Structure 1
């Protein structure tokens, strides 16, 4: 049977900075069609000038220029029909200016647009007639899979819209990688990586990376998913895959043809069939290939043995939870997933040593604020325990999905969206674009809180060492005031410093009691710097620095920051807090000495703890800090430890209101941080509330050598109230402290406890 001379063209496109999926691999369908038709191909991703470049409108041009693509087409000769791949990145049904320019420049009798859809990337369902209306240059448009239908449309010179049929994957040839310039293709990937400017890639493109689809479709019917769009109404979703033998042959031929060093596997769900997944992993081992599986796998089909086989071959393993609420997972998403399997995979991946990414979304229809917090809490729990990275996106009702139908059923018409990518990443631009019932502003607050929480717990770890419980003040609220006043054992504390430094910790804070009373403070600061600690802080009442010689030694000891505890703006009010009449004179004198002698790079600040009797003096304390030469103030709310009781605590809301005024007046001149206050007391000023955020990766060593995680230690005294359940800041807020009526009982420290005990095995060996 004769066939009209046909050319396949994969065109350039444009993408938003915050795109979804993997547009730099969208040429796979065109190459597969070229192999089926045995036709020449021009791939805009595989020409000498193929690159990613930024346009004036903020979008990125992906591929060669239109002129270069047209020149490559002319160099191939003349054709009766040109089949142009039409990807989701061309933003159907809107007219893409790049694609429009290409179509207008083609010199041929007929142009056919074809989705060349393969699975594994989001599909935007739109009426084919609207696509033809946007591109009058086109004679026919083939939706969905192209391999069976496009050849017939080309042969019969069909016009209009056609529904693609599904081929048997065992019968498909290898995509036409041998018909493009692979050197230019791999160079294009290098340029994409460089020009996107991303610091890190969860699923990297390096060496000779080739996209591949080993199966098509997915048997599950999650509400948000746009996979299997080619199925007829009422037809169940399904997955098609080649036989394990055919799969092995195909992967072997792919490596031989392309010299691939890494495969980018775009399957919708690669691991739902155990026999298929086992065959794939066996081929990867046999061919010694690295690979990436960016689309979320099913956790309930992912076993520890799979993770062990993937270790060293994948950069990141990806699974999809969608929600941390069992009701939302089952009733809203329809995922048929037990969240315990997500937790199991997180634990297994951590144990095996494989990076894990978990997909979630917020803003689903019928999802409550409380259920969103369930999701965020679940996500952060797995991050904190197993470092399973939470990829949280906004529920986005792609046209044609169950989610979109549910949105319409609830009386909201789907908006016209030119590019869905930023909607996934940043949330809807308007109330009409959201999928669920929670407002756009609230959804963004939830996501912002999660991102801040994630940044805080991703930061460097810090060690806090109580050098001593001895103190020359007697503060009414002291957290360690009921503990035996003994100095810590210097060599034991140095051993702790060595242990944490070996774990990669580079930040340490020395406090007490009063650390300047410890005879080895200066020695210990110098020792910490000598073994590699980069940031060293000392928190002090400053009285010893009243002696100028000591102040000089302290600020030049190697510390990088020094915080002075000042709790009243004058001698009387300060003495009322710290119990020593002469303390104010000595503390302020010590601050002046340290300011005078501190070398460049040493940051000096003030700690203020709020009580009933000094809250109204907070403005004066801020002025005092400024007058003393300090440009940093920490405002601390009481914690229920040691001597602190509800009898001395101010009304929280009143103290927060006073704090708000101080922040608003001073934030342009000084760094102002608020410690131990729930976010809800200072809406709009969350950036100043450190709360327990910076305690997430903190480890505290007590004088008796007890080693605690500070966040967990503080959480024991935190409570959640009903108002917290739906709060947008809940995932990043420890809740409320409940102070007792009386101080903590005495905490007796034995002299024998000061020396760090050796492990029993060492004692036995000696």
Structure 2
């Protein structure tokens, strides 16, 4: 049973450019412009009218955009819940400007071992994350640590939790790795690793959407009966100011927005693609967390009930649950 009919999340790519070179991501390899202030303001007003609750300014590395502070300020003015994930390299520069404007501030950190993390990210950023944590806390912010979990770093959870998160009272977000396009992310998470993640997800100050685990056990999205509601729950806007459908990772078409996002979204051609969400050949077996998380929130099924406790737990701690009701 569908509970919410309108989209609830916008993944807004302010640029694809990045100052890191993570081996499990190909976004940084793409040429990219930067979005403009006029585009962002116009689109945010339309997103509000379309029912969007959460704006995730993303990239690439979103802090590469010189106007990122303004984007967050405008989004908060319109009443959006805002999220930001950064590798930490530029956070110290933007920290003052972002103060009080980011509801969910995530610092990417995949291990408590400096050399290993920097190798995974392709650039020396571990020390910058450590510095960013202290700066954020000094400003009264409540950052989280976002750990992308692979087979070769799942054993790092304990040290990251005990050495970094608990002493700083940070939430550790466990983000199971996923494959897309031709990006190599290593072997799939084993059943043993899925069990390990499940156990960790029950601990204090750890967020793990248990529906992610069940979806992997079920073989991912199934095109004959899709759980993915990517296009109807999530709007994706590119740095070229296009609406991407049905999602960023498997998107088949970009629609030029030209100052009227609502018109584009409701157009016959866009709606045809939206109805194909989760049913395209590329959607078979998909486990992309970015789109499954909102998918689990809008339709009452077993994934909805599995996702509910952890989602409520996280939003209760962050104080954002009232805005999601």
TM bucket (normalised to shorter chain) is 0.5 to 0.7
Q: Is the CA contact (8 Å cut-off) linking 2:111 and 2:153 kept in structure 1?
A: yes
Give the aligned partner of residue 574 of structure 1: 117
Q: 2:150 aligns with which of 611, 618, 621?
A: 611
Q: Deviations over 1:706-752 (max 9, x none)?
A: 2134498584433259xxxxxxx99666xxxxxxxxxxxxxxxxxxx
Q: Deviations over 1:417-449 (max 9, x none)?
A: xxxxxxxxxxxxxxxxxxxxxxxxxxxxxxxxx
Q: 2:180 aligns with which of 610, 633, 640?
A: 640
Give the aligned partner of residue 555 of structure 1: 99
Alpha-carbon offset, residue 479 of structure 1: 4.7
Matched, 1:589 2:97: no
Change (3 A) 1:584 1:483: same
**Which structure 2 residues correspond to residues 95-110 of structure 1 after superposition, within 5 A?**
none
Q: Quick one: distance in 2 between partners of 1:695 and 1:676? A: 19
Q: Quick one: distance in 2 between partners of 1:644 and 1:494? A: 33
Q: Is the CA contact (8 Å cut-off) linking 1:696 and 1:710 kept in structure 2?
A: no
Matched, 1:475 2:22: yes
Change (3 A) 1:653 1:660: same
Q: Is the CA contact (8 Å cut-off) linking 2:154 and 2:193 kept in structure 1?
A: yes
Q: Deviations over 1:70-99 (max 9, x none)?
A: xxxxxxxxxxxxxxxxxxxxxxxxxxxxxx
Structure possessing the higher relative contact order (Cα contacts under 8 Å, 6 or more residues apart)? 2
Alpha-carbon offset, residue 521 of structure 1: 0.2
Give the aligned partner of residue 199 of structure 2: 661
Q: Quick one: distance in 1 between partners of 2:87 and 2:211? A: 18
Q: Which consecutive unaligned segments of at least 5 residues does structure 1 have?
A: 1-389, 391-453, 683-690, 722-728, 734-766
Task: Look up the SS of the partner of 1:481 in the other structure.
Answer: helix
Change (3 A) 1:669 1:540: closer
Alpha-carbon offset, residue 510 of structure 1: 0.5
Alpha-carbon offset, residue 591 of structure 1: 1.9
Task: Look up the SS of the partner of 1:496 in the other structure.
Answer: helix
Q: Deviations over 1:623-652 (max 9, x none)?
A: 3223333125132322314x7325x24434
Give the aligned partner of residue 44 of structure 2: 497
Q: Quick one: distance in 2 between partners of 1:696 and 1:625? A: 35
Q: Deviations over 1:44-88 (max 9, x none)?
A: xxxxxxxxxxxxxxxxxxxxxxxxxxxxxxxxxxxxxxxxxxxxx
Q: Is the CA contact (8 Å cut-off) linking 1:465 and 1:702 kept in structure 2?
A: yes
Q: Deviations over 1:486-543 (max 9, x none)?
A: 322332232221221222323211110011110010011111222x133111121122
Q: Is the CA contact (8 Å cut-off) linking 1:480 and 1:513 kept in structure 2?
A: yes
Give the aligned partner of residue 167 of structure 2: 627
Bigger radius of gyration among the two:
1
Alpha-carbon offset, residue 604 of structure 1: 2.5
TM-score, normalisation: structure 1: 0.30
Matched, 1:703 2:239: yes
Q: Which consecutive unaligned segments of at least 5 residues does structure 2 have?
A: 219-226, 252-276, 287-298, 304-325
Q: Deviations over 1:105-150 (max 9, x none)?
A: xxxxxxxxxxxxxxxxxxxxxxxxxxxxxxxxxxxxxxxxxxxxxx
Give the aligned partner of residue 274 of structure 2: none
Q: Deviations over 1:458-491 (max 9, x none)?
A: 5861211011111111111115233214322332
